[in-house]
Chain A
Amino acid sequence: MSQLPLEGIRIIDFAQVFAGPACTRILADLGADVIRFESPNRLDVTRNLIITDNDGMDHTWHRASYFVIRNASKREMVVDLAKEEAREIIRKLAATADVVVESFTPRVMANFGLHYEALKEIKPDIIMCSLSGYGQNGPMRDYAGYGMGLEPASGVASITGYKDGPPMRSGLSFTDPYSGFLGAGAILTAIQYRRRTGKGQYIDLSEQEAAIPIMGAALAEYQMTGRVKERIGDRSDWAAPQGCYRCAGDDRWAVISCSDDAEFGRMAGAMGHGEWKEDPRFATVLARRQNHDTLDELITAWTSARDHYDVMHTLQCAGVKAGAVLDGKEILFDPHFKARGQFDVVDQPLLGKRLIPRHVAAKFGRFEAKARSHAPLLGEHNAEVLTELGYSAEEITKLQEDGAIADKPNLPVPPAFIGVALRLPYDRYVEHGILQAVEPDYREQLGIAD
């Protein structure tokens, strides 16, 4: 196996949920030894999200897909930081670490005596990154931040939505992974600086702020014209036509975008309507913008008779920007994503082979930044990490007895109760159109059956 760029870098990872784990998943796939920490009293909530097969079985915390896709390639310890022996483990580990990542609200690390200043005493060149909803200072610093709120808080929802409709969220909280990506790059930047100067530093990343650059054009528009940017559906301020068009089949769609007259001419030709480019209603970009609704009807008449992939290939081969709108199944079968290795197969304990998405998009010539191992079971590496730190078997047993470390959650209710509670009524979701379908033979279809 080729060497990876972050081999030899050790990361202590207190991050929970999505943004932080996406950040450290990137660093882990780049070769860092990421040791994540959970509390037995308060598991990472993603251990309760999207339980494999939605079957209500026991040990849900080992069976949550959401956790698995975010935490592959890492090791894990479960420690109760309320106990001094647990904090001592962290301090010993910090002496050997290069980076600490955490995603609590601002007070938490200080309460444990594990804030940057304290860790710097132990390891002067440590790099620490705090990922939070709203940052470490300012009147909203203590606000609880969930991704569903942080995307709108960045302003992006105000420019997302149908024309004349209300602001909308994306169908998932994309600023969570996006801010995690930025955290990973910030840490890589700090590592470059440390390599040159030997100095560590502290990084304060606010998920709200991280996404504000996406508002760059809208912020400039307000200052330059006094206009608050309107919602325009799938249309563009620059390209016309641009939109999402109905294709043959049930709920199949393709997007098309023409940046200039030449591209529009190619589109018209590919659709068998070369005359459109001479039509005064469509001949210039301004005319196309004015008559966009009419043009959309003509385009839909062509797309709606064709499969969404056919629309994409026919137009792309004619030199027109187009793309099939893919659902969560189609992306797993798409030839592009297959050829590019977007999904790695990991052999996950209790779950068997599973496909999980890459977190590093880049393809390199000299190494591959992919999932290196399964996502850790709860406390899977307690003994391994403690042994590396010089703890004896007796000491490890004592830590376990004292509740400083654990490999099971401290649950207030029987585990079976949680399994049942987390089971979502998928049959009713299908009936109401919240889900398109549930296919029990999906593993055979994907070729990952045991």
Chain B
Amino acid sequence: MPERALDGLRVVDISQGIAGPYATKLLADAGALVTKVEPVAGDYSRRLGPFPGDNPDPANSGLYHHLNTSKRSITLDVSVASGQVVLKKLLANADVFVAGEKTSTLKSWGLGYDDLDSDFPHLVVAQVSPFGATGPYADYDGNSLTAMAMSTIMYNTGEPDREPLATGGEPGEYIAGVQLWIGILAALENRAKHGAGDHVDVAMSDAVACADEYNSAMYGFQGAIRRRYYSRHIFGYPNDIMACADGHVVVIPGAGGFRSPLTPDVVSPMALLLEDPELDNNPVFTGAGERMIRWREFEDLVKPYLSTHNAMEIVMTAQALRLPFAFVPTAADLLSDEHLAERQHFEHVATPGGDLTIPGQPFKMSETPLRASAAPSRGGANEQVLAGELGYSKDDLRILSDRGVI
């Protein structure tokens, strides 16, 4: 078997849902041995679906299968003392412990950082929670929506007269997962240099705030407070999704799309695209401030072209003119996309409900490519881990099982 980037790294993960499991998926697909510790009822992403034919079945949740590739699963009730004893045996041989609970919950289980640090000084204890381990909201609950709300991104998304809009797909969870993964790798690097484990505390709210492109900066450098205006960039209009004959495209003129004072005699790429050189003489077309304010008039200028051309033709023509237009694919479009197919982006895993195509790796490494193998069945590694590695006898396992601990 070829070498993997994180061969030899041992991770114990009691987190559920999206953020923590996505972080450990990125470790597992890179070769780390991730032992997923599920509650006896299973990770709650198993209950979220989607499910084949809309028939709820915890073994077949699409979300679960996407987020838990390349891991092994044991079931363990870590909220009771006998479960905590088993977990601590696992931690004795682990490099990283990942939890998705609030600090107060972890402490009540004897699994807070202070509890673990003395017994396991080399362990990286990584925690992802809605509002972090410290601070005034540490005991508050949350999800992607609350994180998007606090981050300023939501306030600036949507129509001016309607409610602010959250971005689809629970991005706050994924952003937090990626920031957790970065924190774990940084702590491991620190351990390699300086010998000690550490506490990695990621708040979902903070992770999404790190992805604020410029809303806080506009106040901190200008005193300007942005608000949502059809999700428009403050840098200028259009940089937006517009309707075309067969769907939508993203109209982006980029740095060189409109007539520049430096090249007054050259027909602009945007005018070329719209097949009307006269547009370069129209202030609504050429003036950045005018476009932003008189955007309805600008829309009238581009509509005749957009509404009579297909997305494919518009984007290909625009890109040939070096205008960074883009497509607006749906999930179905992505699965049949030629570009992604040629890059072999998607991965395919076997699930009890049949083969499933899942999102591929977010980057390609030349020597140690990340690879996904199918997500584990609930408790599939109970015997291997508890009997094989931790030395529990068959009787022990039966007792733990009878008591609902595994």
Contact = CB atoms under 8 A, between A and B. Distances in A.
Interface string B141-174: 1110111111111111111101111111111001
Contact of A158 (B136, B328, B338, B364): B328
B81 interface: no
A181 B339 CA distance: 23
A173 interface: yes
A283 interface: no
A96 interface: no
Interface in B1-49: 3, 5-9, 22, 26, 30, 48-49
B347 to A, nearest CB: 11
Contacts of B345: 209, 212
Contact of B183 (A150, A206, A364, A428): A364
Interface string B108-137: 000001000000000000000011111111
A425 B359 contact: no
Contact of A146 (B153, B199, B218, B252): B252
Contacts of A440: 223
B5 A327 contact: no
Contact of B182 (A7, A148, A181, A323): A181
B326 A205 contact: no
A5 B219 CA distance: 32
Interface residues of A, number: 179
Interface stretch (B51-59, B84-92, B297-305, B380-388): B51-59
B327 A153 contact: yes
A417 to B, nearest CB: 8
B366 A203 contact: yes
Contact of B213 (A176, A179, A206, A321): A176
Nearest to B248: A167
Interface string A175-191: 01111011111101111
Interface residues of B, number: 166
Interface string B320-347: 0011111111111111001110110100
Given A52-B221, A156-B169, A438-B224, A361 B207 contact: yes
Contacts of B331: 155, 158-159, 215, 218-219, 221-222, 228-229
Interface string A132-154: 01110111100111111110110
Interface in B230-274: 230-235, 239-241, 243, 248, 250, 252, 254-255, 261-262
13 contacts: A45-B255, A153-B328, A185-B182, A190-B368, A213-B22, A238-B48, A257-B146, A327-B215, A328-B155, A328-B225, A342-B206, A365-B198, A425-B292
Given A138-B339, A210-B362, A339-B134, 12 more contacts: A135-B343, A146-B324, A177-B213, A223-B335, A253-B155, A257-B146, A327-B155, A328-B216, A432-B293, A439-B224, A442-B223, A446-B220
